[in-house]
Amino acid sequence: MLASAKTMDALKTIGLNKYERGIWVALLSRGTATAGELSEISNVPRSRCYDILQSLADKGFVVVQPGKPLRYLAVEPKEAFERAKNKVLEEAQELTEKLERIKKSDVIKELEKIHKENVKIIKPEEISGALKGRYSLLQQVGTMLKNAKKSVKMITSEDGLNELVEAHGDLLKKISQAGIDIKIAAPLNKNTESAYAELSKIAELRNLEDVEHIEKLTNARIFLVDGETAVVGLADDQKTHPTQDVAFWTKSSHATSKIFEPMFNLVWSHAKPYKK
């Protein structure tokens, strides 16, 4: 293997598949090569090399040199990453503009009409599901916060509190200014001082640490909005990779107001104000 497993794994995280990683690293070791030469070095089937090299060229990792046969030039790593980053940003900007255009068009009205007409026949208890990955969890919490009308109640962990500020600090500030009551119970200590300083301006916080019966909840994550919607983390976020995190979401007012909110209120009554 030309590159270490750590390096190959790092390339995987930026979206290069197994063949793309193998071909690019092989090309880096040669500087310039034909598809046939790269197939021999990387053990990638020759029949796949051409489309893989074109994919790498599209992403900014390779330059195609015209001729017979075609030759390929490896782009220097830092420059390749810069090109790839710029392409991602351009594509994201392009997609954002398309989404904004659709939001302002008749298309969104038609889609919302279809959704509303069908939602009427669905029981609230049936509007629930699993959320895979920390990003999905935070996205769902963000949607709930945007739709909040009266109250937001949360139990969260150290990491969860810090992530909450990073992902939704501005949104929490906005809904607080709109009069939404926000209560957060979390471990409050030196690891969460920055988050506490930010959130204490817009929400009421209580400490879960060193309180009998509830100290084991310091890794819990429960998010409740208006007694109608809830997200419950099902994994320990300190022991689970963000991509493997799992949570449950429901729009059942029964489960939220009759089960989760009484649980939150019990925890809240035992938790203490934070004293530095």
CB 248 within 8 A of CB 128: yes
Give the Cα separation of 170 and 211 in Å (integer): 30
**pTM metric for this prediction:** 0.64
pLDDT tens-digit series, residues 94-141:
999 999 999 999 999 888 888 777 655 556 556 788 899 999 999 999
Tokens 């939602």, residue located: 119
pLDDT of 121 reads 58
Question: Which residue from 167, 148, 130, 146 is spatially nearest to 225, judged by alpha carbons?
Answer: 148
Q: What is the CA radius of gyration of the chain?
A: 25
Pairing of strands 246-250, 128-132: antiparallel
3-state helix, strand, coil in the chain (%, to 5): 55, 15, 25
Report which secondary-structure segment, H or E, holds 182. strand 181-186
Q: What's the order of all strands across the beta sheet hosting 32-34? A: 32-34, 71-74, 62-65
Is pLDDT above 90 for 34? yes
The alpha carbon dihedral of 85, 91, 94, 98 has a sign of negative
pLDDT tens-digit series, residues 155-180:
999 999 999 999 999 999 999 999 99
pLDDT tens-digit series, residues 187-230:
999 999 999 999 999 999 999 987 777 767 788 999 999 999 99
pLDDT tens-digit series, residues 60-93:
999 998 888 889 999 999 999 999 999 899 999 9
In terms of C-beta density within 10 A (0-12 exposed, 13-18 middle, 19 or more buried), how is residue 29 classed? Answer: middle
Q: For 133-155, what is the mean pLDDT?
A: 95
Provide, rounded to the nearest whole percent, the portion of the chain with pLDDT above 70.
Answer: 96
Respond yes or no on whether the N-terminal peptide bond of residue 69 is cis (omega within 30° of 0).
yes
Q: Using alpha carbons only, give the angle 35, 40, 41 rounded to the nearest 5 degrees.
A: 95
Fold for domain 5-75?
Arc Repressor Mutant, subunit A (1.10.10)
CA atoms within 13 A on the CB side of 56: 32
Domain residue spans of the chain = 5-75, 124-270
CB 232 within 8 A of CB 247: yes
Return the bridge partners of 232, or none: 222, 248
Q: With respect to CATH, is domain 124-270 assigned 3.40.190.10?
A: no
Is pLDDT above 70 for 273? yes
Give the Cα separation of 264 and 185 in Å (integer): 9
CB 242 within 8 A of CB 133: yes
In order, the DSSP letters of 119-136 are HTTS-GGGSEEEEESHHH
